[in-house]
Amino acid sequence: MTDTTPGQTVGPFFHHALAYPGDAELVPFGSAGSVVLHGHVRDGAGDPVPDAMIEIRQSDAAGTVPRETGSLRRRGAAFTGWGRSCTDAAGHYWFSTIEPGLPFFAVTIFARGLLDRLFTRIYLPGAADALDGLEAVREDDGRLRFDIHLQGPSQTAFLRYPRT
Amino acid sequence: MSGRLSASSQCLSVQWKRSVDGGVITSLTSGRVTSSQHEISDEIAKIQAESPGRAPLLDFAPYRSTALRHPTKELQLVDPEGAELVAPVFGHSDVDPVEADLTVQRGGDPVGERIRVHGRVLDGDGRPVRRQLVEIWQANASGRYSHQRDQHPAPLDPNFTGVGRCLTDDDGHYSFTTIRPGPYPWRNHHNAWRPAHIHFSLFGTDFTQRLITQMYFPGDQLLALDPIAQSITDPAALARLVASYDHDSSEHEWLLGYRWDIVLTGSHATHLEPSDD
């Protein structure tokens, strides 16, 4: 563990390399059984972060975490349980996915000005044993909303793991 | 310079946020007052004297854009479970082998010094990370990214996107053929230059091993001046981001080789795979 390679910021110029068609659509937008998970990424002043990237990892509806390939070229591929969304000019991210059988989406956050990745979880509304503050809100139109605050009084609870 | 201490950092933050926000480059002639390299280096030295650590500091005022983007509350320790224990899986349907050669993606040869960058991706227990995705991106030989927001007045290269992907092999080995990137100026402070670097995006076998970092080149005098690199306050840890020149992978009359091995954090999963090698 002592010789772990340190992280560095994703910087400002990652979109042309890391974004790709269908990156945020774990299932096609609007398809039967799909749900939109979305929110804004904000800094310590409450301003949008337009150069962040969010990745999610999740189980399928039955609670199995897929080990299927095909996330980078989704057309015709099985559900892979992984997606990536770069925030837009308003700091907004979104995914089209399904509600996981296991109670949370595992989340990684990258941004210019953020020197290493952050981890968090987004729990489904009403999930038993959800960590404080990490439940998504069900909006009237059925979408799941979860805002990410990098700093400030509303700072999101970020996580670390025993071996990181 | 009032420095980095938390009591004063909030006003400083607002000032700097206006100066460098958005990654969108504003005019060089805006006339704002920024720190000198000497002031930045002095801030870096003071922080490093206090807190040598192997991970980058998230609260690192010399990199001005961190001011409002670093969490101030402690990270919460949790045991990984469910989806956190399984990294996404990528395969040959995801990545074409040609994506590992950044010099043949367009019609002609890109300008610059042709290089190979290769090495192994290992987990924290020394096991190779097999058949896993590696993504890279970088500036061209002139220090310009093929990204719409990069306004550095250096030429774009129509034959170079600076974007590559590959899968590691069964031994955890990756290899890219590319062009040595140029250093480039940025607006963190007056006369600020990023050392030449290649961005790397890596996955392990657990979701918790996710890593995005930057690889630097040996002997680069800009490394000591760079607040992004120096946010890793332990010199030995920072040295792990520097590739070594590898003459054995240089090719006669063709390219120069660099070797860079990557060690991810430890895996949490129970390894049930038989040891077949």
3-state secondary structure chain B: CCCCCHHHHHHHHHHHHHHHHHHCCCCHHHCCCCCCHHHHHHHHHHHHHHCCCCCECCCCCCCHHHCCCCCCCCCEECCCCHHHHCCCCCCCCCCCHHHHECCCCCCCCCCCCEEEEEEEEECCCCCECCCCEEEEEECCCCCCCCCCCCCCCCCCCCCCCCEEEEECCCCCEEEEEEECCCCEEECCCCCEEECCEEEEEECCCCHHHCEEEEEECCCCCCHHHCCCHHHECCHHHHHCCECEECHHHCECCCEEEEECCEECCCCCCCCCCCCCC
Q: Give percent of chain A with pLDDT exceeding 70.
A: 99
Nearest C-alpha in B relative to A67:
B89
Number of domains chain A contains: 1
Per the CB < 8 Å rule, is B54 touching A9?
Answer: no
pLDDT at B78 over 90: yes
Candidates A8, A71, A155; nearest CB to B71:
A155
B55 CB neighbours in chain A (<8 A) are 6-7, 116
pLDDT for B9 equals 34
Q: What pLDDT, in 10s, does the model give residues B125-175? A: 999 999 999 999 999 999 999 988 888 899 999 999 999 999 999 999 999
Which domain covers residue A86, as residue numbers? 9-153
Instruction: Kindly report the CATH number assigned to the domain that includes residue A109.
Output: 2.60.130.10
CATH architecture group of domain B97-263:
Sandwich (2.60)
Q: How confident is the model at residue B32 (pLDDT cuts 50, 70, 90)?
A: low
Give domain status of residue A2, yes or no: no
Q: How confident is the model at residue B33 (pLDDT cuts 50, 70, 90)?
A: low
pLDDT at B1 over 70: no
Per the CB < 8 Å rule, is A67 touching B89?
Answer: yes
More confident residue, B15 or B261: B261
pLDDT at B31 over 50: no
Residue ranges of domains in chain B: 97-263
Per the CB < 8 Å rule, is A117 touching B95?
Answer: no
Nearest C-alpha in A relative to B65:
A113
B22 CB neighbours in chain A (<8 A) are 50-51
Q: How confident is the model at residue B277 (pLDDT cuts 50, 70, 90)?
A: very low
Give domain status of residue A4, yes or no: no
B48 touches chain A (CB under 8 A): no
Distance from CA of A32 to the nearest CA of B (A): 23
Nearest C-alpha in B relative to A7:
B213
Distance from CA of A42 to the nearest CA of B (A): 8
Q: What pLDDT, in 10s, does the model give residues A111-144? A: 999 999 999 999 999 999 999 999 999 999 999 9
Give domain status of residue A77, yes or no: yes
Give domain status of residue A121, yes or no: yes
